[in-house]
Amino acid sequence: MIPKAFFTALATLSGLQKLALCDVSLTRHAVAELQLAIKEMSSLTSLELEVRKLNPRNQSGLLDALADSSVAELHLPGWCLDNGTVFAKFLAQNTKLKKLTLDYIVNEGERTNEVLDLFGALRTNKVLEKLYLPYCFLRPSEGRFLAQVMAENNTLSVLQVGIAFGNEPDDFADLIERNGGLRELEIEGSFLIDELAGCIKKNTTLRKLSLQSARIGAERTEAFLDALAGNESLELVTLGNVFELVPGDFHELLEQKGLEKRVHYDCYTSDPPIHTSNKRSGTNLQRVYIEPQQDPVILVVHYMYFKLASPFRFVEVSIRLDRLGCTSARLLARYLSSTEVLESLYLTFDVNEHSMSILLGGLRLNKSISSLAFEDCEFTNEDASVLGALVKESKTMQEITLLSPDYSTSLAVISELSRCLVDNYFLLSVKTNEYLDLGEYMFEIRDKMRRNGSMLLDAVQFAMGSCTKRHAEAFERHVESKSLVRKLQEVTGETEFEVRERIKTRLRYIRYNFMTVVGVVKEKVICKQGKRQRTLLDHIGFDNLLRVVSYLKVRDIVDEPVAGCSHAPREQDAVAQKEGPGLELK
């Protein structure tokens, strides 16, 4: 139970922007205190409540408090739909909520009209942009109703939902064909992928489509891929698992249709000999999951790592083993140090005395991984120091996950990360077991995550047109990061190419207007020609200035004079900036 003093303290945090209460029970009095706290937290924009079921009266009171709040992102358990009419009214009348996630909605065999009421509210609500319904599999009547509603709703841009087992995806095909607002759609459920081919041809607005658990085969999928090849708006399609016997055939089909960069798919490898004997699995597979069955012969595992160390173009690798020996660690380290496209690495295995240090040595040379996860892996203090140095130097790492039941391992890594993150401005997420008592260190880490997240938003502001020095400095730090590209795509709805062109344009702006951006000169100082009407050496001066600026960063220009510096610039050294490109030296 959460004490009353906690909510009293919450109410005083007027600047708090994000609040998450996970796996807690709330009494009737605690709910009342939470309602009051929400009303007092005027800056609260994101709220996640993972609380045990409330009675209808408390649910209504909580929704009333949320209706009057500034919350734009809301994450609630599925029981909030038990009183479907009340929640539908809350959603229909809400004018601030942009993102809604409802977890674990009661299964399709037990619910009545809860989901229908939710979808009905989308006819009235013209503000909500993202709706996530994980593990919610729609019945035919619900799917048909959603398709009807989405034909009228053009404000919802992201939708995640599923198809109940045994149902056909006809209603989703209708939704894809008729809706003009959705940019991202994720559908879970078992269905044949070629049944969506017709609607893909007609949709002109969808940018990303994820079809998890869809049944995929080279022959049946060809109609879908033909439709995708003719669709100019879809940038990325993520598919479920391709059976390990046919990934080569499937990828060959993608290459024939020019879709290898637009389609991402999984290939789950349970038997290394099958995978390695499939010669046509080629060099372009993008994801691989290595989990040998039972007790594989160690030479087979070594051979698998040897193949992995070949020039494959994986973007995601997940490896599960009972034990990682030194030979395998060296082969894996060789791959990690050489790959330039791998983005996500998930590892779970026991290690011997030296294999983790070998593996970390390869990771330290990697310049592409943005998501790194360790599960049930042991770290010595020396290993933790190496991982800390890796994170301190990395400009690509955005997310680290450490899931270890061993307290000493978690403490060694998390305490090291809390120290090294002072100099890292790119890491946005660190996750570990919540039940471990690492509070002091995790508080320091989350503080740095908030700093890094704010800096990323500042960089986005500059890319969108802001010209402040703070935003420019953040933009300069993130100009080559994938996180800036992804965030801009999310904010603007532009393609990756358009976003990268935007970044190039703003980078040129800094170069050409460096003195203005850093605050050395004002933006509109007019420079008049002298009495002799001399020809201004504009371009010579400008080229010289660009050469000087090429050695500088925005953060190199301090806002206050350096202490002890008494030399004042002579009047004849002053440079006035002419409106436009002209410069005149006086």
Spell out the domain ranges in the chain.
281-436, 465-527+536-554
Cα angle for residues 327, 333, 335 (degrees, 5° grid): 110
Strand partners, 401: 373, 431
Contact 432, 414 (CB under 8 A): yes
DSSP letter, residue 436:
S
pLDDT of residue 277: 42
Give, for 161, the enclosing helix (H) or strand (E): strand 158-163
Residue in this structure with the two tokens 């390990």, named with its chain if needed? 244
Question: Buried b vs exposed e over 522-553: b needs ≥16 C-beta within 10 Å?
Answer: eeeeebeeeeeeeebeeeebeeebeeebeeee
Contact 363, 393 (CB under 8 A): no
Give, for 356, the enclosing helix (H) or strand (E): helix 355-364
Contact 34, 26 (CB under 8 A): yes
CATH of domain 281-436: 3.80.10.10
Dihedral class, residue 104 (left if φ above 0, else alpha if ψ from -120 to 50, else beta): left
> Cα–Cα distance between 482 and 398 in angstroms, integer?
9
In one-letter notation, the amino acid at residue 456 is L
Strand partners, 584: 576
Is the torsion defined by CA of 109, 111, 116, 118 positive or negative? Answer: negative
> Cα–Cα distance between 92 and 121 in angstroms, integer?
5
Contact 41, 14 (CB under 8 A): yes
> Cα–Cα distance between 265 and 285 in angstroms, integer?
9
> Cα–Cα distance between 186 and 82 in angstroms, integer?
24
In one-letter notation, the amino acid at residue 49 is L
Residue 18's CB is within 10 A of a number of other CB atoms, namely 13
> Cα–Cα distance between 164 and 360 in angstroms, integer?
43
> Cα–Cα distance between 428 and 445 in angstroms, integer?
10
Residue 5's contacts (CB-CB under 8 Å, 6 or more residues apart) are none
The tokens describing 60, both together, are: 């209504």
Q: List average pLDDT for each run of 10 residues in the chain, which is 586 residues long.
A: 81 88 82 89 90 82 90 90 86 94 77 86 93 86 87 90 70 83 85 80 90 66 87 87 63 84 74 45 50 48 53 72 82 86 87 85 92 90 92 92 84 90 92 78 90 94 92 93 91 86 93 81 54 46 64 71 46 38 35
> Cα–Cα distance between 527 and 19 in angstroms, integer?
53
Strand partners, 558: none
Q: What is the 3-state secondary structure (H, E, C) of 399-422?
A: EEEEECCCHHHHHHHHHHHHHHHH
pLDDT of residue 158: 93
Question: Quick one: CA torsion of 410, 413, 414, 419, rounded to 10 degrees?
Answer: 160
Q: Are strands 184-188 and 158-163 parallel, antiparallel or unpaired?
A: parallel
Give, for 209, the enclosing helix (H) or strand (E): strand 208-212
Contact 51, 25 (CB under 8 A): yes
Contact 445, 424 (CB under 8 A): no
The tokens describing 62, both together, are: 């909580």
Contact 323, 353 (CB under 8 A): no
